[in-house]
């Protein structure tokens, strides 16, 4: 009797370990400088790969990934951050309407992967980030976010 209980416990443990090992581990977030050198197609493909891995990840793993990504962005000097922001903004402006629509759809698909709790946490993060902005930054951000998709 004890042997069968131990055998079942051992089998359950092995199965749990195998499940954890089979679970996809999210890759390390890329350095923002590296992302800024990628072409539109490379960024799109990388985003799709990350989204596929995010689908397999737990909410805790997704949060850890986002935290690492934020740390990499915060690791930039203020000048680097500004330069990368301006470069990425200019590249966004240069995209065709079809490419912009494609990227918006990719971002929307990424959000659909998240649990309602994760979405709530992201909204809270965004709210806090907006609170830290100057009035000019808030206005610029609002104007950019509420612009008509057709009028880009």
DSSP calls for the chain:
-HHHHHHHHHHHHHHHHHHHHHSPPPPPPPPHHHHHTS-HHHHHHHHHHHHHHHHHS-HHHHHHHHHHHHHHHHTS-HHHHHHHHHHHHHHHHHS-HHHHHHHHHHHHHHHHHS-HHHHHHHHHHHHHHHHTS-HHHHHHHHHHHTS-GGG-
Is residue 9's pLDDT more than 90? Answer: no
Is residue 45 scored above 50 in pLDDT? yes
The residue-averaged pLDDT of 72-100 equals: 90
- 15 pLDDT more than 60: no
pLDDT at 91: 87
What is the pLDDT at residue 10? Answer: 46
- Does this model's pTM top 0.75? My answer is no
| pLDDT classification of 22: cutoffs 50, 70, 90 | very low
């Amino acid at each position: 009797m004890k042997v069968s209980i131990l055998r079942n416990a051992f089998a359950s443990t092995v199965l749990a370990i195998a499940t954890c090992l089979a679970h996809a581990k999210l890759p390390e977030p890329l350095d923002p400088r590296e992302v800024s050198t990628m072409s539109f197609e490379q960024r799109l493909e990388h985003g799709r790969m990350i989204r596929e891995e995010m689908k397999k990840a737990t909410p805790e793993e997704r949060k850890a990934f986002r935290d690492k990504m934020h740390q990499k962005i915060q690791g930039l000097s203020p000048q680097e951050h500004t330069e990368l922001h301006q470069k990425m903004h200019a590249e966004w402006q240069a995209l065709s309407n079809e490419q912009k629509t494609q990227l918006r759809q990719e971002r929307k698909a990424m959000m659909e992967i998240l649990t309602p709790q994760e979405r709530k946490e992201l909204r809270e993060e965004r709210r806090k980030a907006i609170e830290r902005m100057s009035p000019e930054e808030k206005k610029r951000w609002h104007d950019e976010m509420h612009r008509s998709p057709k009028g880009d």
